[in-house]
Amino acid sequence: MKKLFALLLALAMVLSLAACGEKTGSTPSESTNPGTETTTGGETDKPGEGKTVAIAMPTQSSERWIKDGDNMKAQLEALGYEVLLQYAEDDPQQQVSQIENFVAQMVDCIVIAAVDSGALTTVEAQAKTAGIPIIAYDRLLMDTDAVSYYASFDNKGVGTAIANYIVDAKDLEAARAAGESYTIEFFMGSPDDNNAVLLYQGIMEVLQPYLDDGTLVCKTGRTSFEETCILRWSQETAQQWCENYLSGFYADEDLDIACSAFDGFSYGIRSALEGAGYTEANWPLITGQDAELMAVKNIISGKQTMSIYKDTRLLAEKCVTMVNAVVTGSEPEINDTETYDNGVFVVPSYLCTPQAVDVNNYEELLVDGGYYTAEELAG
């Protein structure tokens, strides 16, 4: 088996060397990342020419992953790569099969945003044996030495930004000084996603003191990660939990803050609140993450208070730089070599900076920044 791989690898190398030697004769590329191309004698060599990159994405049920996939595909294709893009619809086993297939096809690089990263260790080892490099996209790949690089946002920073927003919007310092309190409930991310753990840590680093001194009151008492994490980031579970919380604990007092780690949760929370009769007069502060189109529309209409803007174009760009580096044997830009220990080693990472978005800055950040058009948000 190993011999076969070695043979295939050698063949692939010969073919790719041959491809490198060819001039593509293409017109100047539309690349968003011009630094990765070389021009010789007026002609452009696309680094991806003759190479295939496979992308394994978690689900199409959330808009953000569709944007992530589309952005990456477009950017890689602009560099000449052939792209295989597949979604696993939140089924870990389906994702394993998809990656097994990518390995069997001997693609040149695999980009993975895991459904359940713990389920991928065997197939990742197969990729490594076959000499196929892996890049972890947005979610860290745990317990493997087969991953070369990790492109993500500062996930603890997401939590800190959400919590700081709550502190400022509700002026918790003034509330504390006046001996007032606000009720709060937590809806945290999937326990099989390392991002969710870091986000929770970021939130609690800021909010725990207010919970400890009673400025924030969590009436269900569910404040630990174990009690608040929602498997596979399920909108339905978030809605169900919120319905139960409202009927079981908030019959006599309003919920003031729904601390949600994901826009999908926030849609479920919104439905639960509407079902329980909440109106503009007692609508709580609802946080979120991803600045999905629907979330931003909800922010404009007042049904969600804020979200975290993670520019998927930027993340895709950083990931594409990593793909290019592993395929061409160069070094990509890295800005973190300490934080992301996957249980086997600290994975060299590039972390983009998340930004809080609300009704006051969405136009500047999202419309002027070209993420959404005013028409999309109005529609």
Rounded to whole angstroms, how far apart are CA atoms 61 and 267? 13
Asked if 68 is part of the footprint of ligand GAL (rule: CB under 6 A), the reply reads no
Q: Which is nearer to ligand GAL, 289 or 355 (CB)?
A: 289
Distances (CA, A) of 79 to 29, 63, 85, 319: 7, 25, 16, 13
* Ramachandran angles phi, psi of 377, nearest 5°: -75, -25
- In 3D space, the residue among 249, 367, 264 whose CA is nearest the CA of residue 307 turns out to be 264
Length of the chain: 379
Burial of 35 (0-12, 13-18, 19+ CB in 10 A): exposed
Distances (CA, A) of 22 to 128, 183, 324: 28, 65, 18
Asked if 193 is part of the footprint of ligand GAL (rule: CB under 6 A), the reply reads yes
Rounded to whole angstroms, how far apart are CA atoms 258 and 269? 8
* Ramachandran angles phi, psi of 183, nearest 5°: -85, 150
Say how many CA atoms lie within 13 Å of 233 toward its Cβ.
30
Q: Which is nearer to ligand GAL, 107 or 140 (CB)?
A: 140
| Minimum CB–partner distance for residue 254 and ligand GAL (Å) | 28
Asked if 233 is part of the footprint of ligand GAL (rule: CB under 6 A), the reply reads yes
- Give the one residue of 62, 71, 266, 312 binding ligand GAL; rule: CB under 6 A: 62
Asked if 139 is part of the footprint of ligand GAL (rule: CB under 6 A), the reply reads yes
- Give the one residue of 36, 75, 95, 195 binding ligand GAL; rule: CB under 6 A: 195
* Ramachandran angles phi, psi of 329, nearest 5°: 75, 30
What token pair was written down for 253? 């007092």
Asked if 170 is part of the footprint of ligand GAL (rule: CB under 6 A), the reply reads no
Asked if 64 is part of the footprint of ligand GAL (rule: CB under 6 A), the reply reads yes
Site string for ligand GAL, 302-321 (x = CB under 6 A): --------x-----------
35 in helix, strand or coil?
helix
| Single-letter amino acid code for the residue at 172 | L
- Give the one residue of 45, 108, 154, 290 binding ligand GAL; rule: CB under 6 A: 290
Q: Which is nearer to ligand GAL, 182 or 350 (CB)?
A: 350
Q: Which is nearer to ligand GAL, 32 or 61 (CB)?
A: 61
Q: Which of residues 331-370 bind ligand GAL (CB under 6 A)?
A: none
Q: Which is nearer to ligand GAL, 52 or 190 (CB)?
A: 190
Sequential DSSP letters for 291-356:
--HHHHHHHHHTSS-EEEE--HHHHHHHHHHHHHHHHHT------BSSS-B-SSSB--EEEEPPEE
Q: Which is nearer to ligand GAL, 182 or 187 (CB)?
A: 187
Q: Which of residues 90-129 bind ligand GAL (CB under 6 A)?
A: none
Q: Which is nearer to ligand GAL, 62 or 324 (CB)?
A: 62
| Minimum CB–partner distance for residue 19 and ligand GAL (Å) | 35
- Give the one residue of 138, 185, 192, 311 binding ligand GAL; rule: CB under 6 A: 138
Rounded to whole angstroms, how far apart are CA atoms 164 and 204? 11
Q: Which is nearer to ligand GAL, 233 or 340 (CB)?
A: 233
Q: Which of residues 251-270 bind ligand GAL (CB under 6 A)?
A: 262
| Minimum CB–partner distance for residue 308 and ligand GAL (Å) | 7
What residues make contact with ligand GAL under the rule CB under 6 A?
A: 62, 64, 138-139, 193, 195, 233, 262, 289-290, 310
